[in-house]
Amino acid sequence: GAIITFTNLNVSALTNINKYIQPLITSLIGLIPNCVSSVLLVELYMAEGISFGALLAGLSTGAGLGLLMLFKHNKKAWLKNIFILLLVYALGVILGEVLNLIGFFI
């Protein structure tokens, strides 16, 4: 909430973005370690603001506090931590793009 307030981020602007670019953004939103990001994504989907692929991309990258614990307890292997973070992001984007390409929706 603070990020949205201080940066004047317009979340509803996601509705105007191409459905093939949406998974890139929603996967980043999903990486925020809080349940608010999941609620935001589901509300955007229910309002028909984002595609189903974008929804699943964002929800699949939401590892909760798991990534924070990884970075906290595995300080010596920070390169591996970055690799895991990028892998989670990439897999979420790939899932969203594949679902958008095959036209899967509910």
Inter-residue contact 73 to 19 (CB < 8 Å): no
Alpha helices, DSSP H, located in 47-77: 52-61, 66-73
Predicted local distance difference test score (pLDDT) of residue 11: 63
Please count the residues of the chain.
106
Mean pLDDT to the nearest integer, 78-100: 93
Residue 89 clears pLDDT 70, i.e. is over it: yes
**Residues 6 or more apart whose Cβ sits within 8 Å of residue 44:** 11, 14, 15, 50, 55
Mean pLDDT to the nearest integer, 38-65: 87
Residue 4 clears pLDDT 80, i.e. is over it: no
More confident residue, 96 or 13: 96
105: confidence class by pLDDT, cuts 50, 70, 90: low
